[in-house]
Amino acid sequence: MNGQSQAAENFVKRIFTFLDETDSQQLAPLVQWFQPAGCKIIVNASAFAQAAGFLETWQRCVVQTQHVVTAVDFHVIPGTGSAVCSVNGKVRFDESGRDKAGQDAAVPAAAGTGATPAAPVGKHRPLWGPYFGLSLQLVVDERALGGDFNGVISSFNYTMVYRPEDSLMAV
Amino acid sequence: MNNLFQNSNNVGAAAQQAVLQNRVKVGVKGWQNATKQDLVSFVSRKTRIGIQDSYVEGNLVIGFVNSRNEANSLLNWNGVRFAGNALKFEILGDNAGLGAAPGTNNTIALLKAFLYKRYNPQAKMLDLGNLRNDPDLTANGLFSTTSTQSKMFPAMMKLASKEDQMVVESVNLSNNNLKDLNMISSLAQTYPNLKNLCLANNQISRFRALEVWRNKFKDLRELLMMNNPITTEPLYRSEMMRLFPKLIILDSVLLRDESKLQQIYSMPMKLQQFFFETSELGQSSIDFVSNFLNLWDTNRTQLMALYTPQSQFSVCIDSSVPSSSVPNSDQNPTFSYYLPLSRNLTKISSERTKQQRLALGQEAIDKLFKSLPKTKHSLQEQPLNYSLEAFSYPQVNGFIITLHGFFDESGAPEIDANKSTPNTSGNRNRRFNHGHSNSTNKLTKKSFDRTWVIVPNPGGVVVASDMLTIRPYADGSWLEIQAQPQATTQPPVQAQQQPQQQPQIPGIVQTPVPNMPIQGSAGASLLLPPEVQSKLNPVQLELLNRLHQQTRLNAEYTYMLADQSGWNFDVALKGFQDSVNNIPREAFI
């Protein structure tokens, strides 16, 4: 049991670490954690048919994030080989105006208009906005509680439950 | 001669007028031990400044001196001893002895009229350009001194923020001789969502002057600063981009790619209030949740029929306080009733505690239910404050329902977990023992997320798993979306309604709980025209059905009643009861 709850907590933290990743190479292994067929992914009440589609959208269209786990609980449903996990957390976004690749929306200034040189090349530092509240429900194979995360996620329901007014992000 | 005489008389009058206009109103404090006349004579002797037309108001002697200079030199005499007390002089205002001084109400009316004169409702634009030369403002002396000038704009902004019918997206402040934003900084409070701003033809020369607007105006799209010294600074463009993160156009030059900017500052998955995998699941999960919470609020023991010896329930406290910028968030939440029950695995390390806090089977679940404070959910009255997702769970051949929302704590729990600990040492060694008082037990509003795993059973459903997370109250993130027209966030809705029965779906047929209020049982549920029904969300449908059963009104009138009362059940029912005698017979079924 202790091992199980440790594994559940560890599992959730690792999912969030993946989501916070800016490098698509590093995010890719998360696809393997989702059940290849019949997996339900719901993010802010929008459904994704496949894990790959969701992760690609996440990678391409969501700025860098930082997740914090604040609460985890789970129930193993006897006789089904599966468990339900309920997670609460906080998430904040990089509000520096750059996407995960470090691209911003600035239009290059015309020559001679007092333009500044382009931003220094290299890894930009994120400018974290305020935290949003987060509620996540997972349905996983019981194997996940033994530390085997391969293809275990059969449902993933990710919902933002509160939002700060001073964030630049529209959700 | 006559003329000359008259002229000189006029000159005298004009001179007297000028003197009167230059007068400054002053007040003197600390003269209690003497008469007013004594005070005025004393001041005149000591300072060689005459206070005229003096009168007593409260503990002040008020009067007038001839000029600003005299008033200022009077201030230098502050603290001079008179009749055993130190005197205190103050300047109360210029010119105030004359009838010309506008009263406060007068000024408000004047500024209001001015605002409407300068407001263009079609363009949603407030033109505050060249205020200095506005005939109305100057005629009323609003630019006569620096002090009135600096007060006028904030006053105008305060008035403008109260004028709800004035929708302002653009503000023009050009030609105002501004050197900094000191006078106009309150613009950011009045119009935080301003889209366009013109500050052209002013004297703004330093970035620091603009710093008060940093992180304000987050929707500012276009800014005009032409003919300000600042525009020649080498860092002008990049500084403006830094100050206004969503600025698209600066001085008519494109600064940012708008679609890229939008992509960066938004989630591709737009928040919605509901998600149902199938439309049937929508109706049935709303039925389940509203029936469940109804009993949860009134008689929890009755819910035991839904649980089996294998069913599990646990409570989890997420005590992390939301950022203070979250609307209506509780910054000082108390969880003392819950903490001894909380199964938040990130917070508990003891193996035994983890086991103990999972309730397995009806008896344990019932006891845990009784250990939680009594509650009142407002699913019917405030449906917009709840968000729900429901989808299938093939492994159990059932489904999952997750509800996010809030409840009010209406009473202390039947069993106080703080007092009934199994610990043999009583309360002596418990950390709650120290400083545990009634004040930490106050009843408040809480937010929650609750997840039920529902398994169909012959004759009804059972709850296999029930997980409740309780957290500090905060307005739901989906709320603002709902305030806008609802067209885009419609969940799928059943095309036709089955009368007499709860909606038929595999699994949830009807809950087997005795006394569980069953929708539609008292008669046919509402038959709405499909085109009306398709515009309603499930919560609204549920409200209509409930209203219909309470009032026995027909579909058309039920809808009218609900619509007129803003989709608030209590308001609707009250309205019905108030006017029941005036409702025509044909309105009822």
* Region B235-260 average pLDDT: 92
Q: What is the model's pLDDT at position B550?
A: 74
Most confident of the following: A127-131, B90-94, B424-428: A127-131
Say if B232 falls within a structural domain: yes
CB contact under 8 A, B246 and A137: no
Instruction: Identify which has the larger pLDDT, B458 or A157.
Output: A157
Label residue A38 by pLDDT band (50, 70, 90): confident
pLDDT given for residue B231 in this prediction: 93
Contacts of B320 in chain A (CB under 8 A): 68, 70, 88, 90
> Is a pLDDT exceeding 70 seen at residue B5?
no
CB of A147 less than 8 A from some CB of B: no
Q: What is the mean pLDDT of residues B56-67?
A: 81
Please answer yes or no on whether A77 and B464 come within 8 Å at the CB atom: yes
Average pLDDT of A5-9? 91
pLDDT in tens, B93-127: 755 444 444 456 677 888 888 899 899 988 999 99
Regarding whether B159 and B133 lie in a shared domain, the answer is yes
d(CA B157, CA B539): 40
Is A70's Cβ below 8 Å from some Cβ in B? yes
Task: Find which of B238, B267, B330 to mutate to test the A interface (most A CBs within 10 Å of its CB).
Answer: B267
Give the residue among B478, B346, B464, B467 at the shortest CA–CA distance from B398: B464
Distance of CA B569 to the CA centre of its chain: 23
Do residue B268 and residue A159 have CB atoms under 8 angstroms apart?
no
B18–chain A Cβ distance below 8 A for any pair: no
B214: pLDDT confidence band, cut at 50, 70 and 90?
confident
Domain annotation covers residue B514: no
Of all helices (H) and strands (E), which one includes residue B159? helix B146-162
pLDDT at A115: 44
Chain B positions touching A88 (Cβ under 8 A) are: 316, 318, 320, 449, 469, 471
Of the two residues B202 and B539, the one the predictor is more confident about is B202
- B267 and A47: CB-CB below 8 Å? no
| C-alpha span between B369 and B314 (Å, rounded) | 10
Query: Alpha carbon of B64 to those of B24, B43, B86, B425: distances in Å?
Result: 5, 13, 20, 80
Q: Is the dihedral of CA A44, A48, A54, A60 positive or negative?
A: negative
Asked if A33 has any chain B CB less than 8 Å from its own CB, the reply is no
pLDDT of B60 above 50: yes
Identity of the highest mean pLDDT range in A50-54, A83-87, B508-512, B585-589: A83-87
**Which pLDDT band, with edges at 50, 70 and 90, does B497 fall under?**
very low
Q: Which residues of B touch A63 (CB under 8 A)?
A: 264-265
CA-nearest of B501, B448, B444, B217 to A168 is B217
Task: Give the domain-ending residue among B265, B291, B313.
Answer: B265
Give me the mean pLDDT over the B520-543 stretch: 62
Q: How many domains are there within chain B?
A: 4
Contact at 8 Å (CB) between B190 and B167?
no
Residue B498's pLDDT is what? Answer: 37
Identify all chain B residues contacting A1, using CB atoms and an 8 Å cutoff: 351, 354-355
Determine whether the interchain pair B326/A164 forms a contact, defined as Cβ–Cβ distance below 8 Å: yes
Please report whether residue B3 resides in a domain. no
Q: Rounded to whole angstroms, how far apart are CA atoms A167 and A129?
A: 6
Which residues in chain B are contacts of A74 at CB distance < 8 A?
345
Q: What is the mean pLDDT of residues B434-457?
A: 80
Burial of A6 (0-12, 13-18, 19+ CB in 10 A): middle
Cβ–Cβ gap B267/A164 under 8 Å:
no
* Residue B4: per-residue pLDDT: 44
Residues of chain B contacting A45 with CB distance shorter than 8 Å: 269, 271-275, 387, 389
Distance, CA of A157 to CA of A138 (rounded, Å): 6
Separation CA B185–CA B580 (nearest Å): 54
CA distances from B376 to B103, B301, B390 (A): 51, 16, 23
Tell me how far apart the alpha carbons of residues B134 and B66 are, in angstroms, rounded to a whole number.
30
What's the CA gap between A15 and A82, in Å, rounded? 18
pLDDT at B127: 93
pLDDT for res B339: 92
Domain that residue B559 falls in: 530-587
Q: Write out chain B residues lying below 8 Å of A46, CB-based.
A: 269-270, 272, 275
Q: How many CB atoms lie within 10 A of CB A1?
A: 12
Instruction: Report helix, strand and coil shares of chain A as percent, to nearest 5.
Output: 25, 35, 40
| Mean pLDDT of the B352-360 span | 92
CB–CB contact B402 A8 (8 Å): no
Q: Note the pLDDT tens digit of each residue in B305-333.
A: 999 999 999 999 999 999 999 999 999 99
Query: Does residue B549 belong to any structural domain of this protein?
Result: yes
Complex ipTM over 0.85: yes
> Among B492, B493, B495, B547, which residue's Cα sits nearest to residue B519?
B547
Model pTM? Answer: 0.69
Distance CA A66, CA A92 (A): 5
A129-143, B30-44, B97-111, B395-409: the lowest-pLDDT one: B97-111
Domain positions in chain A are 1-97+125-162
Across the interface, of B258, B322, B395, the residue whose CB is closest to A162 is B322
pLDDT at B24 (0 to 100):
81
Q: Do residues B337 and B452 both lie within one domain?
A: yes
pLDDT for the residue numbered B132: 81
Same domain, B281 and B259: no
Q: Is B240 on the interface with A (CB under 8 A)?
A: no
B192 touches chain A (CB under 8 A): no
Amino acid B73: pLDDT: 85
The proportion of chain B whose per-residue pLDDT surpasses 70, expressed as a percent, equals 78
Question: Is some CB atom of chain B closer than 8 A to the CB atom of A164?
Answer: yes
* Phi and psi angles of residue B62, each rounded to the nearest 5 degrees, phi first: -115, 140
- Whether the per-residue pLDDT at B280 is higher than 70: the answer is yes
Q: What per-residue confidence (pLDDT) applies to B104?
A: 62
Helix (H, G, I), strand (E, B) or coil at B258: helix
CA-derived radius of gyration, chain B: 35
Over pLDDT 90: what percentage of chain B?
37
The chain-wide mean pLDDT, for chain B, equals: 80
Predicted pLDDT of residue B410: 92
B59: CATH: 3.30.70.330
Mean pLDDT check: name the lowest of A67-71, B65-69, B235-239, B342-346: B65-69
Q: Is B257 exposed, middle or buried (0-12, 13-18, 19+ CB in 10 A)?
A: middle
Which range among A61-65, A135-139, B422-426 shows the weakest confidence by mean pLDDT? B422-426
Q: How many Å apart are CA B77 and CA B58, to the nearest integer?
A: 21
Mean pLDDT of B231-256: 92
Element (H, E) at B425: none
Asked if A127 has any chain B CB less than 8 Å from its own CB, the reply is no
Asked if the C-beta of B343 comes within 8 angstroms of chain A's C-beta atoms, the answer is: yes
Three-class SS of residue B18?
Answer: helix
Which residues from B are below 8 Å from A160, CB to CB? 271, 477
Give the contacts of B498 (CB within 8 A, at least 6 positions apart): B504, B520, B525
Residue reference for tokens 């418990």 = B430
- Looking at the structure, do residues B321 and B456 belong to the same domain, yes or no? yes
CB within 8 Å: A154 and B394: yes
Regarding whether B317 and B450 lie in a shared domain, the answer is: yes
Q: Which comes out higher in pLDDT, residue B197 or B26? A: B197
Lowest mean pLDDT among A154-168, B32-46, B265-279: B32-46
Please tell me the total number of residues recorded for chain A in this structure.
171
Please tell me which of the candidates B235, B274, B469 has its beta carbon nearest to residue A86. B469
Interface contact B344, partner A, CB < 8 A: yes
Residues B327 and B460 occupy one common structural domain: yes
- Least confident window among B25-39, B479-493, B527-541: B479-493
Chain-centroid distance of CA A144 in Å reads 18
How distant, in Å, are the alpha carbons of B54, B281, B353, B538 from that of B518?
Answer: 81, 17, 39, 16
- Chain B contact probe: residue of A6, A13, A42, A44 with most B CBs at under 10 A: A44
B215 and B334 in a single domain? The answer is no
Considering the domain architecture, whether residues B322 and B381 belong to the same structural domain is answered as yes
Q: Is the pLDDT of residue B520 over 70?
A: no
Using the Cβ of A101 and the Cβ atoms of chain B, whether some distance falls under 8 Å is answered with: no
Instruction: Tell which wins on pLDDT, A117 or A155.
Output: A155
pLDDT of amino acid B114? 87
pLDDT at B384 exceeding the cut of 50:
yes
Contact: B267, A40; criterion CB under 8 Å: no
Other Cβ atoms less than 10 A from the Cβ of A73: the count is 28
* Stretch (H or E) spanning A11: helix A2-19
Q: Which residue from A69, A81, A154 is facing B346, i.e. has the nearest CB? A: A69
B69 and B123 co-located in one domain: no
Which of the four pLDDT bands, split at 50, 70 and 90, describes residue B88? confident
A122, pLDDT greater than 70: no
C-beta atoms of B246 and A168 within 8 A: yes
Give residue B389's pLDDT: 95
Task: Check B387 against A70: CB less than 8 A apart.
Answer: no
C-alpha separations of A91 from A20, A64, A123, A130, B215 in Å: 9, 10, 21, 8, 20
A56 touches chain B (CB under 8 A): no
* Cβ-defined contact of B267 to A170 (cutoff 8 Å): yes
Neighbours of B37 (CB within 10 A): 10
Are the beta carbons of B471 and A133 separated by less than 8 Å?
yes
Look at residues B91, B117, B143 and tell me which one is the last residue of a structural domain.
B91
Q: Classify residue B318 by burial, with Cβ atoms within 10 Å: 0-12, 13-18, 19+.
A: buried
Number of Cβ pairs closer than 8 Å across A and B? Answer: 229
Verify that B155 and B179 share a domain, yes or no. Answer: yes
Q: Which overall architecture, per CATH, does domain A1-97+125-162 show?
A: Roll (3.10)
Q: Which helix (H) or strand (E) holds B242?
A: helix B236-243
pLDDT grade for B525, boundaries at 50, 70 and 90: low
B147: left (phi over 0), alpha (psi -120 to 50) or beta: alpha
| B338 & B460 share domain | yes
- B278 lies in the same domain as B200: no
